[in-house]
A and B are shown apart, each in its own frame.
Chain A
Amino acid sequence: AQSVTQPDIHITVSEGASLELRCNYSYGATPYLFWYVQSPGQGLQLLLKYFSGDTLVQGIKGFEAEFKRSQSSFNLRKPSVHWSDAAEYFCALATSNNAGNMLTFGGGTRLMVKP
């Protein structure tokens, strides 16, 4: 069975500082990996996804993520955080043999941005 772990429950950064949110997965082959963002009381918005190829993927809102097979990681980064980035971030994976491309989510990381 696959799983996703987001080790940091809360992270606080200052506006303008760089950001890295950690994501580790457990799966025997290469999964499909995703990062979603959720603002309070809202649904989830897809930031970026990795299927294959270039291990550094670019997403919306200036985010990027790097797939590292050797570390089973897919960390999300942003060079300069804006106050509007404060939200909850979820890493998720799907596999090619999952019925219906079911997503398995991590527990989330809540990002707070200090002025």
Chain B
Amino acid sequence: DTGVSQDPRHKITKRGQNVTFRCDPISEHNRLYWYRQTLGQGPEFLTYFQNEAQLEKSRLLSDRFSAERPKGSFSTLEIQRTEQGDSAMYLCASSKVGTYGYTFGSGTRLTVV
């Protein structure tokens, strides 16, 4: 069990650029979640996958946000045309179906300048 890995740890981008983050879950975990955490707040659910299927995406913040998990293993979260309000920590987590409480990665901190 190598834990949940996220890459990069930090990303600074200019407003209007596109960014993509990667998450590698624990290998036997079939569920993968994305959360966003702004400064001083608790994490906020964005979307989740069960294997390669994205089963909930209505909470993605806008149509500039999209996520994929093409082969049911790693996942990517893309933000197009970044805005300063997108600056936050983006957390990935994984779990097995039927379990509650998941394992989080260390997050990707995005700064939009």
Contacts and interface: CB of A to CB of B under 8 A. Distances in A.
The number of chain A residues touching the other chain, given as a range, is 20 to 34
A74 interface: no
Contact of B56 (A42, A46, A102, A105): A102
A39 to B, nearest CB: 10
Interface residues of B, number: 28
Given A42-B107, A44-B91, A34 B40 contact: no
Nearest to B42: A105
A44 B109 CA distance: 14
Interface string A68-93: 00000000000000000000001010
A99 interface: yes
Contacts, number: 68
Nearest to A91: B42
A99 B55 contact: yes
B40 A108 contact: yes
B41 interface: yes
A104 B59 CA distance: 13
A108 B113 CA distance: 27
Interface string A22-59: 00000000001010100001111110010100000000
B67 interface: no
Contact of A100 (B31, B101, B109): B31
Contacts of B4: 43
Interface string B56-98: 1000000000000000000000000000000000010101000
Interface string B4-42: 101000000000000000000000000101010000111
A100 B104 contact: no
Interface of A: 4, 32, 34, 36, 41-46, 49, 51, 90, 92, 94, 99-108
29 contacts: A32-B100, A34-B101, A41-B109, A42-B106, A43-B4, A43-B105, A43-B106, A44-B91, A44-B104, A46-B102, A90-B42, A92-B42, A94-B100, A94-B101, A99-B55, A100-B31, A100-B33, A100-B55, A102-B45, A102-B56, A103-B45, A103-B102, A105-B43, A105-B44, A106-B42, A107-B40, A107-B42, A108-B40, A108-B42
